[in-house]
Amino acid sequence: MAINKEFLYDILKTGSVSGNEAELEKKIFDYMRDKADSVSVDELGNVLAAVNPNAEFKVLAAGHADEIGLMVSAIGGDGMLKVTRIGGIYTTTYPGHKVRVYTKNGVIYGAVANSRSIAKNKDIEASDLCIDIGAKDREDALKYVELGDTVTFDTDVRELVNGRITGRALDDRLGAYIVMEALLEAKKRGASVGCYSVASTGEETTGNGAYFTAARVKPNIAIAVDVTYTSDNCGISDAETGDIALGKGPVICNNPSIHKKLNERLRALAKKLDMPIQIEAASGRTGTDGDTMHRTGLGVPFALISIPLRYMHNPNEVCDLKDVEDCITLLAEFFIDCSADMELKPF
């Protein structure tokens, strides 16, 4: 399953702060338009692609298109932008970094103020950050920026050695890419059930995107595809994350709410494919769209396929493209393996 780097890197370069995902969703919509059996967008901007949309038995896979970031909350008399957090950012990663402000007239660039005293402040809050867009004063800044505009790091995608890449918000634009490519692979290989993939909005903040989608699709099974922490880098404990490494394959999650039979199926399929997989443990909730889809309608059995990721929620997240490929293959195989008569009750 070769990666379409041109499309993937385009996704990863596009701004999609939670609540402001339309530019990215439009790209996914256009990419899928002539390839899936049906593609639609809802009022929240979720792009939903389907294969066999008339089938009664439905499997819904979700990868979230939104990313964490900042939102302009105020502008000082000196023209500096003040911000609030959108999602689980590390505030200490912002000072000294270049950023993009997504305005109605396009991107405005900024520099986040830093100094010896700011750099020493480990308890820095989002409200302490100041973004310098070059404005002379408040009035000047308001010519370019509105309150409520969103902000991300100004980063690019870079290829590292050994098929690894770095960029911001691989969480979870990788997942949005994976669910779409897996759907197309399932179509090519003749899946029999209704297969649905959504590039969901709002996962990092409200979870509403996956909620709307699952509530409307009413799937029999839901699969979330998201990133997970690896334990193969400094500052991470394997007792917390499980023994997870880059390049060792998709991660299957065990927790009280994840469906054991779906996990067994995923493990059996990986074995059949001769694909390495890794196992992680999570407590009551997974903190992904899986939790949200699970609680829609009369309840939806779900599983979580995770992509190993280093430095989650930092400007330099790192993944291995081999893991991305394997996640696509595994999810496609899952779509194909599902049948309308599959038994989901434990006994």
The site for Zn ion, by CB under 5 A, has a size of 3
Q: Which strands make up the sheet holding 221-229, listed edge to edge?
A: 38-41, 47-51, 194-200, 58-64, 221-229, 302-309, 251-254, 278-281
Whether 203 is catalytic = yes
The alpha-helical segments, DSSP class H, found in the chain are: 5-13, 22-32, 116-120, 138-141, 170-188, 208-217, 238-241, 260-272, 289-294, 321-337
Q: Within positions 45 to 64, which residues make up the interface with Zn ion, using CB under 5 A?
A: none
Name the one range near Zn ion by CB under 5 A: 39-47, 165-173, 297-305, 326-334: 165-173
Q: Which residues contact 217 (CB under 8 A, 6 or more apart)?
A: 48, 58, 60, 196, 198
Residue 69's alpha-carbon distances to 93, 105, 228, 287, in angstroms, are 11, 19, 19, 18
Residue with Cβ nearer Zn ion (226 or 337): 226
Instruction: Please report how close the Cβ of residue 161 comes to Zn ion at its closest, in angstroms.
Output: 26
Residue with Cβ nearer Zn ion (291 or 325): 291
Instruction: Please report how close the Cβ of residue 203 comes to Zn ion at its closest, in angstroms.
Output: 6
Instruction: Please report how close the Cβ of residue 172 comes to Zn ion at its closest, in angstroms.
Output: 4
**Rounded distance between C-alpha atoms, residue 231 and residue 278, angstroms:** 12
User: If we measure between CA atoms, which residue out of 202, 99, 95 comes closest to residue 154?
Assistant: 99
Strands 106-112 and 150-153: unpaired
User: If we measure between CA atoms, which residue out of 277, 266, 276 comes closest to residue 301?
Assistant: 266
**Rounded distance between C-alpha atoms, residue 155 and residue 97, angstroms:** 9
Q: Within positions 223 to 262, which residues make up the interface with Zn ion, using CB under 5 A?
A: 226
Instruction: Please report how close the Cβ of residue 228 comes to Zn ion at its closest, in angstroms.
Output: 9
Q: Rule CB under 5 A: choose which of 67, 171, 326, 333 binds Zn ion.
A: 171
The neighbour count for residue 288, using CB atoms within 10 Å, is: 27
Instruction: Please report how close the Cβ of residue 287 comes to Zn ion at its closest, in angstroms.
Output: 8
Instruction: Please report how close the Cβ of residue 204 comes to Zn ion at its closest, in angstroms.
Output: 7
Indicate whether 289 belongs to the interface with Zn ion (CB under 5 A). no
Q: Of these residues, 21, 25, 181, 203, which one is catalytic?
A: 203
Instruction: Please report how close the Cβ of residue 226 comes to Zn ion at its closest, in angstroms.
Output: 4
Phi, psi of 270 (to 5 degrees): -60, -40
For 167, the enclosing helix (H) or strand (E) is strand 164-167
Q: Rule CB under 5 A: choose which of 66, 67, 149, 172 binds Zn ion.
A: 172
Residue 257's alpha-carbon distances to 16, 69, 198, 222, 296, in angstroms, are 29, 29, 21, 12, 14
Q: Which residue of this chain has its Cβ atom nearest to Zn ion in the complex?
A: 172
Name the one range near Zn ion by CB under 5 A: 37-45, 164-172, 277-285, 330-338: 164-172
Phi, psi of 4 (to 5 degrees): -85, 90
Residue with Cβ nearer Zn ion (51 or 307): 307
Residue with Cβ nearer Zn ion (174 or 184): 174
Residue with Cβ nearer Zn ion (226 or 291): 226
At 120, which amino acid appears?
A: K
Residue with Cβ nearer Zn ion (21 or 171): 171
Are 225 and 59 within 8 A, CB to CB? no
Residue with Cβ nearer Zn ion (204 or 320): 204
Q: Which strands make up the sheet holding 158-159, listed edge to edge?
A: 158-159, 164-167, 317-320
Under the rule (CB under 5 A), what is the footprint of Zn ion? 171-172, 226
Q: Which residues form the catalytic set? A: 203
